[in-house]
Amino acid sequence: MSDADRYEPSHGSRGFHVEHYDLDLTYRVSANRLSGTATLQVTMLEDAKEITLDLVGLAVDKLSVAGARLVKYRHRDGRLVVRLSEKLAAGAECTVTVRYSGNPGPVASAWGPVGWEELDEGALVASQPVGAPSWFPCNDRPGDKATYRTSLTVDSPYFVLAHGTLVDRRVRAATTTWVYAETHPTCTYLATVQIGHYSEIVLAGGPVPQRLVVGGKHASSATRWLERQPEMMTLFTELFGPYPFDAYTLVVTDDDLEIPLEAQGVSIFGSNHLDEADAVRLVPHELAHQWFGNSLSVASWQHIWLNEGFACYAEWLWSEASGGPTADALARRFWTRLHKLDQDLVLADPGPDDLFDDRIYKRGALTLHTLRTAMGDSAFFDLVRDWVARNRHGVVTTEAFRSLAAEHAVTAGGTKLAVRVASILLAWLDDEHLPQLPGR
């Protein structure tokens, strides 16, 4: 088993790439019934006679393939194996069309239930890391990014948000069809649908349009809660470079949610977060994921610190810029907390069980803070902006970050700084032992 496979056992496939998902779906809210057709444009990455997709808890009603001859398919244990009459060569393309239906529900995973979730009045999708197959057949691994067209027909009173841009809305007698186009490469876990009795509130018209999607009951408290959202967008655009998508939407659901979640161009909060003192720090955290996680996506979950370390450090950067404790004060506070915990986690390879361990978030942020202290603000933020620009809408690994950091260190301070940066990254990323913070 390769390193990457250790993080994705019996999930996703490296043998092919899905270029585009066309989802044409109908959802009956009262019955929690989803039905429709998914059309996948597939490109083979290796010679193979089989294409194995992920689809959990829903039944395949019909399956066809264009561009190759289908022999049969088998759907068992969440794996949909499509067998072809002969091998397709690497580079060959075909189209797989799956008609399916059922009562969608979250996928049980080692990290708790994830995916499609019924709400009191509507539904939401929160898939990280393995929930996408709860609502569409897919190649469910973060490194396989695709474009999407999502058409969803629901009872007319409901508002539907999906990732991408609303390109069409057709109202019939009792139902409305909402069509969203996502033209940016998107990980399956970041594909989302939010259904509820929502309306839209504009938080900022530009330069990056920002809006809130919320039920009437929470509209004014959520608007107040997100008062500083446009300022955060301005700060992060300065620090990280241009916002990677066309717009940013924050959803506040009527239901309580355990944790907020990011999707492509979207963040989802529960109404309970409006009252939790600690939750407001997650507004900049979720926004930062649009750069770190959504535009720059991990090639495999092994590299998750590149998402969570940056998002956590963004909380500290916002605190520092908005009159709260400085990043350095926060770094010292969280270093002291980490120091009291077990030191048995390697950031660059935490293992699948510890993917969402809070130590990854905090130690990731501390790594970046140490790097910033060593390089100086100007060189550090140049590195961050270059990292974001070079990998825009791509996939990233820890090794790629390490080599870009080395390159910037040489430019900023010659071999001496490069050696220092390499040893910082070695100590923070590859060793279990918690290094001292600079200045101690």
Closest approach of Zn ion to the CB of residue 55, in Å: 26
The tokens for 376 are 């100086």
Stretch of 64-72, 212-220, 245-253, 305-313 lying at the interface with Zn ion (CB under 5 A): 305-313
Stretch of 117-125, 173-181, 212-220, 302-310 lying at the interface with Zn ion (CB under 5 A): 302-310
Nearest residue to Zn ion, by Cβ distance, number only: 311
Q: Which residues contact 151 (CB under 8 A, 6 or more apart)?
A: 23, 24, 25, 177, 178, 179, 180
Nearer to Zn ion, 54 or 308 (CB): 308
Stretch of 81-89, 220-228, 300-308, 385-393 lying at the interface with Zn ion (CB under 5 A): 300-308
Residue with tokens 């190649």: 139
Nearer to Zn ion, 305 or 387 (CB): 305
* Backbone φ, ψ for residue 29 (5° rounding): -65, -45
Say whether the peptide bond before residue 129 is cis (omega within 30 degrees of 0). Answer: yes
Closest approach of Zn ion to the CB of residue 106, in Å: 19
Closest approach of Zn ion to the CB of residue 285, in Å: 6
Helical (H) or strand (E) element with 43: strand 33-44
Residue with tokens 């998002």: 311
Closest approach of Zn ion to the CB of residue 365, in Å: 11
Stretch of 74-82, 130-138, 303-311, 316-324 lying at the interface with Zn ion (CB under 5 A): 303-311
Nearer to Zn ion, 141 or 289 (CB): 289
Q: Does 311 bind Zn ion (CB under 5 A)?
A: yes
* 3-state class (DSSP) for residue 373: helix
Asked if residues 246 and 265 have their Cβ atoms less than 8 Å apart, the reply is: yes
Stretch of 74-82, 83-91, 211-219, 301-309 lying at the interface with Zn ion (CB under 5 A): 301-309
Counting every residue written for the chain, the total comes to: 440
Q: How many residues bind Zn ion (CB under 5 A)?
A: 2
Nearer to Zn ion, 95 or 109 (CB): 109
* Backbone φ, ψ for residue 69 (5° rounding): -100, 125
Q: Does 296 bind Zn ion (CB under 5 A)?
A: no
Nearer to Zn ion, 88 or 311 (CB): 311
Nearer to Zn ion, 254 or 308 (CB): 308
- Measure the CA angle with vertex 313, ends 190 and 437; round to 5°: 140
Cβ burial, residue 2 (10 Å; 0-12/13-18/19+): exposed
Asked if residues 85 and 65 have their Cβ atoms less than 8 Å apart, the reply is: no
How far apart, in whole angstroms, are the C-alpha atoms of residue 207 and residue 168?
23
Q: Does 208 bind Zn ion (CB under 5 A)?
A: no
Residues of span 260-289 touching Zn ion by CB under 5 A: none
Q: What is the DSSP letter of 208?
A: S
Closest approach of Zn ion to the CB of residue 337, in Å: 18
Closest approach of Zn ion to the CB of residue 62, in Å: 38
Residues of this chain that interact with Zn ion (CB under 5 A) are: 308, 311
